[in-house]
Amino acid sequence: MSYRIGALGPEGTYSEKAALLWIKGRPQASIVYFNDFEGVLEAAAAGRLEAGIVPVENSLEGAVTTVMDLLLRLDVVIVGEVNVPIRHCLVGQGGNVKVILSHPQALAQCRQYLREHYPEAEIRTTGSTSHAARLAQEFPEMAAVAGADTALKYGLQILAREIQDASDNVTRFIVAARKMAPATGRDKTSLVIYLDKDRPGALFSILEEFARHSINLTRIESRPSRKGLGDYYFYIDLEGHVDDRAVGIALAAIKEKAAMVRVLGSYPRA
């Protein structure tokens, strides 16, 4: 049976690298490339793919907010995660670099290096690191922030290695599909919670339920609800599966206190 997974393209992106890790051992699997994260997740939600893979957070720059918003809006669930070490290089034809291109996340992760070594260069954003590398093929004054393997794929020189602002740079990718993954005993659950009314102790009362049932939280982020200033959705990752008894009891109690609780998925931990 064929297995199609969507990823940000063109070939050579870190998303492709994450997808290759996810489909390892699936001989019938193939990668379908998209121009943006929205296209990946919309195709997964519509059932045109078996799954889509997108980055959700980076150890240097934090949450990929576009993806967080899409997870709330689209009818998909997270069925897995892949952690990918990110090792950025500056790649190009070796000319006098006047323009540096890459995906906004990659540029942000190399902000300090670019400011110190190329203060006069024009910084431009592209749809992906591999798209930047492809453009750098065409113009000698252009360089791209991308991976070493992407430089090889597009016939570019590696002008500098390890240019990210910290050596321990990891991006967490999530795999999204239409059907919840079964429990494995080593799972993680992702939620979105909306409190509706900002009252004293409202968030504490939610977090208290997790503590009461000895559920470990691995991440908590807030995103504007777009309903007004100071109004937020809370994204929470916790250890356990929705089918686990303790998680189920905690969620039932939280649903009595919050205006909205949505399970974004329960899936094996990376």
d(CA 239, CA 246): 11
* Residue 171: active-site member: yes
12 token code pair: 């050579």
Please check whether residue 266 is in contact with residue 180, taking contact to mean a CB–CB distance below 8 angstroms: yes
Among 219, 205, 220, residue whose Cα is nearest residue 256? 205
Please check whether residue 255 is in contact with residue 203, taking contact to mean a CB–CB distance below 8 angstroms: no
d(CA 225, CA 209): 23
DSSP category for residue 243: T
Residue 117, Cβ neighbours under 10 Å: how many? 15
> Residue 218, Cα to own-chain centre: how many angstroms?
16
Q: Which of 171, 189, 210, 234 is catalytic?
A: 171
Residue 269, Cβ neighbours under 10 Å: how many? 13
Please check whether residue 98 is in contact with residue 142, taking contact to mean a CB–CB distance below 8 angstroms: yes
Q: Which of 34, 173, 210, 234 is catalytic?
A: 173
d(CA 107, CA 270): 26
By the 10 Å C-beta count (0-12 exposed, 13-18 middle, 19+ buried), 52 is classed as buried
Among 112, 140, 144, residue whose Cα is nearest residue 125? 144
* Residue 218: active-site member: no
To which H or E segment does residue 175 belong? strand 170-177
What residues are annotated to the active site? Answer: 171, 173
